[in-house]
Structure 1
Amino acid sequence: MNLDPDTCYKAVASHDRRFDGRFYVGVSSTGVYCRPVCAVRTPKRENCSFYESAAAAEKHGFRPCLRCRPELAPGHGLADISGRLAQAAATLIDEGFMAEGSVAALAARIGVTERHLRRLFDAQFGVSVLEYAQTQRLLLAKRLLADTALPVTEVALAAGFGSVRRFNDVLKTRYGLTPLALRRRAADGVADRLVFELGYRPPLAWEAWLAFLATRAVDGIEDVRDGAYARTLLVDGGSRHLGWVRIEHVPRRLVLRVTLSASLARVIPQALGKVRRLCDLGCRPDVVDRHLGELAQAVPGMRLPGSVDGFEIAVRAVVGQVISVVQARRILAALAERAGQALPDTAPDSLRFAFPTAAALAALPPQTLREAGVPAGKARTLQALAQRVADGTLALDAHAPPEQTVAALRAIDGIGDWTAQYVAMRALGWPDAFPGTDYALRKVLGVSTVRAMHERTAQWAPWRAYAAIHLWHRYEAVKDEMKGAQAATPATTEPETMT
């Protein structure tokens, strides 16, 4: 990433939120580094230096600002920077991979050699992999001390430090502070939950994003009410941790308030990582909306609804083939009830089951799938899919290569291009995926062939997934307008294929 000092300083002076998380400014007169949006008085130009990452700023001797809190800055999207592999590795580190893994294991996870990963990291972030990982541990610990009442021992373990003594020593050496000095406030009085704030780059089309998920919410797994989204969460952090999350918008602060159940305290980085992907918090709406032009004008800041589990999205896509959304929701709820792990009684009443794991679904007898309403053909497809995910031959997460993953999905009997592209959109977060055979998309664009669809949508590459969300939103608006006119006339129904 090439940082032009003059451009960076202008962004700092104007508190330009488009640059939040894109770089950090070190201030020599104070010894701290800040986000470009920090509310303190703008430092003099001669006192400023600019860094690609928080880790690079700390490598040069700066400590994090306690006011703007660099750990709260938005991250990057998959197509947001040139170093996609480096960013994939950084995301894994952010989510706690290095707590148990090594640099070699991280390189293998993203499909490169260890030497190549080290080169990528140095070029992209200006630091080594281990330096980046150490900074992220400290920033997470800083956040946990400031935002929760977790005991220091729990904070040290959740942040990936092997012992409290090691944690105290590193904190004192790097920041010159003790855990008590960073403890900003006491517990919020609720012992069974943890509350965090995640920043985003405005604008954010929260209502449109929420409506998309509300239409597809599965009873027992998800709940949308009072302007908030809640769902069950199963996180694998060496062992499985079952809990729930609630997400609400705080527009005045330009953040999402994320509430996690206390059962997820040991896997906070992984849980927050899932929320970031679900809400597409790495998006740069200024770039996407400018490219989409007129299509994005009605609803600026549209996000790509992601996922907390790629396998879940794939199952939703298969189940939803050629049936209505309502029918698909009913089948998915029945599957969760039969194969999903039940949440404890302390969970909200509307959240009862975790979505079934790949191993659990692969092991279901065919009769159980039929009882849940899954036709025989789809049942075979689901179990073939589940088996590949369970045995590790198919990965469905944001770090999987999209082209190869789409090809691997299409090789499964019963999965066509629509399903594979939908999974690439939501599970992989691939911004140029586009389910061109979708009925609603063809209807709203007024095209009848796949070739015509590709010709019409080529102008929106490489952000066609965002275009699809805008077009689905338009289709829903048109349907609502037509309901009154169609009420008195018998009408045939078309499959919505919008799972």
Structure 2
Amino acid sequence: MTVLAPSIALPPDYRSADVLAFHARDAEGLAEQVEDAHLRKAVLLGGVPVLFDVALTPETAACRIAADGELDAKTLTLAQEALRNILALRIDPAPFAVFVRDDPLFGPLVARQPGLRIVQSATVFEALTWAIIGQQINLPFAISLRRTFIQQAGRAHSSGLWCYPEAQDVARLELDTLTSRKFSRAKAETLLRVARMAAEGELQLAQDDDPARAAQALLAIKGIGPWTVNYTLLRGYGYADCSLEGDVAVRGALGRLLGETEKPGLARTQAWLAQYSPHRTMAAAYLWASLSQPTA
């Protein structure tokens, strides 16, 4: 076993409760467990089960990375990047706060929730497959399907937590392994398609990829549309300028913010979000967050 114990200094306005809540969405705690200010998450990296065990204080994240095997230099880098991702340290919210300081709509939202951050998935593959799983279904059902997906393709870490799988693990699945467990045929086919393309090197999913190149490659794949691409860029690459006009919750929040009874259409939402480029990812984050706040 390989054990590392890095300590990460957290920004002064770090919102640990938001990060912990994101990772606690699966109440069964199959691959992530949250207790008080303590987070545990398991993933497969380079074929090795890796556990991230993080204790959060107001100033630091005391981390323990425990791998059931040796981590080579490449996999160690993946582990370090994954840690930054799951702690929401990839996108700095400060530039957006400055950008909208005098904005009549976003200014008050930011003032009410300063320092809002977006949690990334541990890997780009996790972000992509989670986006596919979550297409056009409600969140509780998506979480249930995600749990099934991990159980079918992942492996257990020695700690007992299940690891989110890699492309090679998913590529070995048969179609009926998923369709017999409530996955639609189209969703299952898309998951297997991207897994096999990634496993064979046809689809590159590196964290440091150019977002425009990544978007173009993903859009060329059957079963993947603009919403899935933008969500993958957001959760997987930590891209700061994703346009989420295809997200129903974003459009609902925008209509609510504008005092309208109907959700704005795709074209209008896209045009409205364009004025916040190159910070459209944080705009989406604040629109999502606004749904849990009372209207002014």
TM-score interval, smaller chain: 0.7 to 0.9
Q: 2:282 aligned to 441, 462, 466, which one?
A: 466
Q: Does 1:392 align with 2:194?
A: no
Q: Does 1:271 align with 2:76?
A: no
Counterpart of 2:52 in 1: which secondary structure?
strand
Q: Does 1:412 align with 2:221?
A: yes
- 1:417 Cα deviation after fit: 0.9
8 A Cα contact 1:335 1:372, kept in partner = no
Aligned position for 2:151: 337
Q: 1:202 aligned to 12, 32, 36, which one?
A: 12
2:184 & 2:282 partners in 1: Cα distance? 32
Aligned position for 2:259: none
Q: Which runs of 5+ in 1 are unaligned?
A: 1-190, 482-499
8 A Cα contact 1:311 1:396, kept in partner = yes
Aligned pairs for 1:78-477 within 5 A: 194-215=4-25, 219-236=29-46, 240-251=47-58, 254-261=59-66, 263=68, 266=71, 268-293=76-101, 294=107, 295-344=109-158, 347=159, 349=160, 351=161, 353-446=162-255, 447-477=263-293
Is 197-206 or 321-330 further displaced after alignment? 197-206
8 A Cα contact 2:219 2:229, kept in partner = yes
2:285 & 2:213 partners in 1: Cα distance? 23
8 A Cα contact 1:219 1:329, kept in partner = no
1:463 & 1:327 partners in 2: Cα distance? 30
Counterpart of 2:65 in 1: which secondary structure?
strand
8 A Cα contact 1:425 1:434, kept in partner = no
Counterpart of 1:466 in 2: which secondary structure?
helix
- 1:217 Cα deviation after fit: 7.0
Counterpart of 1:215 in 2: which secondary structure?
coil
- 1:283 Cα deviation after fit: 4.3
- 1:213 Cα deviation after fit: 3.2
Matched-pair identity in %: 27
8 A Cα contact 2:16 2:56, kept in partner = yes
8 A Cα contact 2:49 2:67, kept in partner = no
CA gap of 1:312–1:217, structure 2 versus 1, over 3 A, is farther
TM-score (norm 2): 0.85
- 1:355 Cα deviation after fit: 1.6
CA gap of 1:376–1:283, structure 2 versus 1, over 3 A, is closer
Q: Counterpart of 2:147 in structure 1: which amino acid?
A: A
Q: Counterpart of 2:95 in structure 1: which amino acid?
A: V
8 A Cα contact 1:319 1:332, kept in partner = yes
CA gap of 1:282–1:264, structure 2 versus 1, over 3 A, is farther
1:273 & 1:217 partners in 2: Cα distance? 26
Deviations 1:142-170 (A, max 9, x none): xxxxxxxxxxxxxxxxxxxxxxxxxxxxx
8 A Cα contact 1:432 1:462, kept in partner = yes
TM-score (norm 1): 0.52
Q: Counterpart of 1:302 in structure 2: which amino acid?
A: L
Deviations 1:371-406 (A, max 9, x none): 232111111111111111111222223211111211
When the two chains are superposed, the root-mean-square deviation of aligned CA atoms in Å is 2.4
8 A Cα contact 2:37 2:57, kept in partner = no
Deviations 1:460-486 (A, max 9, x none): 2111112212211222346xx9xxxxx
Deviations 1:63-98 (A, max 9, x none): xxxxxxxxxxxxxxxxxxxxxxxxxxxxxxxxxxxx
CA gap of 1:306–1:402, structure 2 versus 1, over 3 A, is same
2:226 & 2:271 partners in 1: Cα distance? 17
2:254 & 2:275 partners in 1: Cα distance? 13
Counterpart of 1:422 in 2: which secondary structure?
helix
- 1:269 Cα deviation after fit: 4.5
2:121 & 2:210 partners in 1: Cα distance? 16
Counterpart of 2:207 in 1: which secondary structure?
coil
- 1:265 Cα deviation after fit: 6.6
8 A Cα contact 2:8 2:61, kept in partner = yes
Aligned residues: 279
Deviations 1:397-429 (A, max 9, x none): 321111121122122222111111000111111
Higher share of residues assigned helix:
1
CA gap of 1:315–1:284, structure 2 versus 1, over 3 A, is closer
8 A Cα contact 1:264 1:271, kept in partner = no
1:234 & 1:381 partners in 2: Cα distance? 21
Aligned position for 1:112: none
Q: Which structure carries more relative contact order (alpha carbon 8 Å, separation 6+)?
A: 2
Q: Which has the larger radius of gyration?
A: 1
Q: Counterpart of 1:410 in structure 2: which amino acid?
A: L
